[in-house]
Amino acid sequence: MFGWEFPPHVAGGLATACYGLTKGLAKHNVDMIFVVPKAYGDEDQRSVRVVGAENVTFEGSAGELEALWQHLVYFEAHSYLLPYLSAEEFESITESTVRNGAITHTSHFSRRFKFAGGYGKNLMNEVAQYALLAHTIAQQNEFDVIHAHDWLTYLAGISAKKASGKPLVIHVHATEFDRSGENVNHVVYDIERRGMEEADLIITVSNLTRNIVISRYGIDPAKVVTVHNAVDFSASSFEDVKHGTDEKIVTFLGRVTYQKGPEYFVEAASKVLKRYRDVRFVMAGSGDMLNRMIRRVAKLGIANKFNFTGFLHGADVPHMFALSDVYVMPSVSEPFGISPLEAMRAHVPTIISKQSGVAEVLRHAIKVDFWDVDALADAIYGILNYPALTKMFIRLGDKEVENLKWDNAALKVKQVYEKATAAGSRP
């Protein structure tokens, strides 16, 4: 299984989903090697063995290295993806003769790559290096199926498939259309499409995402399966904490980016405050729209009723839910959205956008169109102002999330593995 992050090193919902899924799969007797670019040594390995790619040495001739990369990269847009070694390094290790268009390389190449871990400025470079090392990792281990999470690992999954001949399952947690709307990064889109084309089966986190995969990437519906995400029940998400204020707290928790709809949360907050003063709004998270949101809050004159916490780590997340009276996820395009499940698990009434995958499985959350700021404001006001409504959503929401366990999702994923391996074993 190839991923990009694993708890306690979390940058978003992907790590949380991978953690819950691996624990669920372990309960169904699936043994896993979970590969990340950089392992820190403090990962929870009770259910899965975590391997850091940076601890793996790529071994082979320069010719094999070049041939591998030619298999992986077939579109010119990736030309800047892989400065896997400088021009000087490549020239120094390569002896080639060109006869009738054929190139023969004789020198040996041995190297480890360092990974920053996360999503830094060298991300594309690290995606490429990760794919190279996946080839070696696949040759060094025994396994039945390859599972690659999101576009960052699709090239690694393809590389492992070419090295082993084993079936590839890719897991689409989000697409470039979710992250960027119609202003897609075509390099990322091409990697996503390549992964989908090379995969034997594709898991999507919602029917919303499944439809995007089929319609926007031209993938055969027969190979795309929806498995909804779930919530982790291993530790209680509920804390009994005191606010330290008489104000109610309405929370947005997530990346402060276009996809998550933070501007709609801010505009709704302004409208609510005109009708209900004993409330404080909290935006918990970081992202490229954070400064813009801070400026907008100041311009609306609601800064004295608004807090920005920055990115929350570890135990700070359930603590924030415990402080909250309402949780809002106004995402523009949300493939699934685990945070509403976590909020409901923490007994927090929840408002979600209709444009989210989690809306497919939740009945006892208020659903509004992300762009309908008036409806969002009305929903927030209703929960704040009517205690009976709050109690109803807490009671019914708690019962609902009880059925959304990772054990159930993992069983469906295991069935996908069985289908992929059965198809691969046919003559």
- For residue 53, what are the contacts with CB-CB under 8 A and spacing of at least 6? 35, 36, 37, 38, 113, 115, 129, 130, 133, 134, 137
Contacts of 109 (CB under 8 A, 6+ apart): 58, 59, 60, 61, 62, 64, 65, 93
pLDDT in tens, 188-227: 999 999 999 999 999 999 999 999 999 999 999 999 999 9
Higher pLDDT, 103 or 67: 67
426 is written with which tokens? Answer: 């046919």
Q: Which residue's structure tokens are 């400026």?
A: 295
Which two three-digit tokens encode residue 321?
Answer: 């839910």
Cβ atoms of residues 284 and 320 within 8 Å: yes
Average pLDDT over residues 284-308: 97
pLDDT at 407 over 70: yes
Predicted local distance difference test score (pLDDT) of residue 62? 66
pLDDT confidence of 132, banded at 50, 70, 90?
confident
- Is residue 2 helix, strand or coil? strand
Answer yes or no: is pLDDT of 8 > 60.
yes
Mean pLDDT of the chain: 87
Mean pLDDT of 316-334: 94
Q: Which of 73-77, 172-176, 267-271 has the lowest mean pLDDT?
A: 73-77
Look at residue 109 in the predicted model and tell me its pLDDT. 63
Q: How confident is the model at residue 90 (pLDDT cuts 50, 70, 90)?
A: very low
The predicted pLDDT at position 360 comes to 95
Domains and CATH numbers, the chain: 13-230+411-422 (3.40.50.2000), 248-401 (3.40.50.2000)
In 122-247, where do the E strands start and end? Answer: 146-149, 168-172, 201-204, 224-226
Q: Within a 10 A sphere around the Cβ of 181, how many other Cβ atoms?
A: 12
Q: Around Cβ 98, how many Cβ atoms within 10 Å?
A: 8
Q: Who has greater pLDDT, 73 or 363?
A: 363
Mean pLDDT over 159-171 rounds to 95
**Distance from C-alpha of 65 to C-alpha of 110, rounded to nearest angstrom:** 10
**Sign of the dihedral through C-alpha 129, 131, 134, 135:** negative
Query: How far apart (Å, rounded) are the C-alpha atoms in residues 217 and 212?
Result: 7
Which residue from 181, 122, 183, 185 is spatially nearest to 151, judged by alpha carbons? 185
Exposed, middle or buried by CB within 10 Å (0-12, 13-18, 19+), for 343? buried
If one compares 183 and 142, the residue with the highest pLDDT of the two is: 142
Whether the pLDDT of residue 91 is over 80: the answer is no
- Lookup: tokens for 57: 């040495």
Residue 70's pLDDT band (cuts 50, 70, 90): low
Rounded alpha-carbon distances, angstroms, from residue 280 to 204, 261, 265, 337, 344: 36, 19, 12, 23, 20
DSSP 68-133: HHHHH--SGGGGGT--SS-HHHHHHH--EEEETTEEEE--EEEE------SS-TTHHHHHHHHHHH
Q: What is the rounded (10 degree) CA torsion for 218, 221, 227, 228?
A: 60
Order of strands, sheet of 366-368, starting from the edge strand that comes earlier in the sequence:
306-310, 279-284, 248-253, 326-329, 350-353, 366-368
Query: How far is residue 145's CA from residue 171's CA, in Å, rounded to a whole number?
Result: 13
Amino acid at 25: L
What the block records as the tokens of 164 is 């082993």
Percent helix, strand and coil across the chain, each to the nearest 5: 45, 20, 35
Question: For residues 125 and 184, what is the distance between their CA atoms, to the nearest angstrom?
Answer: 19
88: pLDDT strictly greater than 60: no
Give the span between the Cα atoms of 63 and 318, in whole angstroms.
51
Give 350-370 pLDDT, tens digit per residue: 999 999 999 999 999 999 999
The tokens 């992929």 sit on which residue? Answer: 420
pLDDT at 122: 78
Q: Where are the beta strands (DSSP E) in 346-394?
A: 350-353, 366-368
Find the mean pLDDT for residues 321-342: 94
